Amino acid sequence: MLGALSDLDLRLIRVFLAIVDAGGISMAQGALNVGQSTISTQLATLETRLGFRLCERGRSGFRLTAKGERFETLARDLIGAVEEFGMQARNMDRKLVGNLRIGMIGHTPFSENSRISHAIARFRKRDQAVRMIVTVCSPGAMEEQLMNGELDIAIGYFWNRSANLHFTPLFLERQVAYCGSKHPLFGRADSVTMDEAWECEWAWRSYPLPDSLFSAPPRQVTAIADNMEALAMLVLSGHHLAFLPQHFAQTYVRQGLMAPLAPRQLHYEVTFSVVTRQRRHVSEIARAFLDDLAIVHLETPPVVSA
């Protein structure tokens, strides 16, 4: 059984994780730049030192054992901690050192992406050695990751406003109903009544929408999606109607592939917010970035996309 960790153990653990990431020993050769026999020997050495088998490999393919799956989680935590320690030690003279984990909803308006980019540029001028980790995910996933500490900052729109999170409004985004060029309503999209539209089949979000803005939701929701590309695909099929961000749909509209549907009635606005845990749980790094983001929004006028 593995005792005190040595440099050899850390090297073997990194080899194991490279094998897992590659999906097998043969596929890991390129990433590790060594031959298959060497990798097999290193993996066998680690298993011997641990006292149990980490994976099954052979003609049936590569898969982790139950203990191998548990060990993978521990190994990733260990290597992450080692790398964090190294970064902290190398940059002890810097004011801000560590990770900044930012979550964003997909297809943020161009003008706001520009502002966020400016905030990043401003932050990078600080006395810092910070690794930024930016992910794109749904509002529900971001809220969950904020609550369990996997994210420091989230930018998007959120209907479930948890009391454990702090919300600061950034801007408004207009959502409009659209139909595809193959849809029966396309030729008279501008004059369609809400009742007519509500009788059609719709693609809806997998996360909550402000149904209260309308007298009643659509009667036929026959497709669910959690991102804009999927909703656009469903609209372009000519079978479904859906709400899309106006800025996102403009390209399709200019190409004649979509049309706004009764836009004076079938629209709503959502507030994009920057969200963190309550202030006492926000790191010094996250606070610095939030300060830069606030300054940029005050100083930088929105860039209007063509």
Q: pLDDT digits over 170-205, tens only? A: 888 889 999 999 999 999 998 998 888 889 999 988
Residue 257 has pLDDT above 90, yes or no: yes
Q: What is the pLDDT of residues 202-224, one digit of tens each?
A: 998 876 665 555 666 677 889 99
Residue 190 DSSP symbol: G
Q: Give 7-90's CATH code, choosing from 1.10.287.610, 3.40.50.11290, 1.10.10.10, 3.40.50.720.
A: 1.10.10.10
Which CATH superfamily, name and number, covers 96-171+271-299? Answer: Periplasmic binding protein-like II (3.40.190.10)
> What percent of the chain lies above the pLDDT cut of 70?
89
Q: Which residues pair with 63 in a beta bridge?
A: 56
Which amino acid type is present at position 39? I
Residue limits of CATH 1.10.10.10 in the chain: 7-90
Residue 112 CA to residue 128 CA, distance in Å, equals 24
Q: What is the CA radius of gyration of the chain?
A: 25
Average pLDDT, the chain: 85
Tally of helices (H runs) and strands (E runs) in the chain:
10, 11
Going by C-alpha positions, the residue among 209, 207, 183 that lies closest to residue 262 is: 183
Which superfamily does CATH assign the domain made up of 172-269 to? Periplasmic binding protein-like II (3.40.190.10)
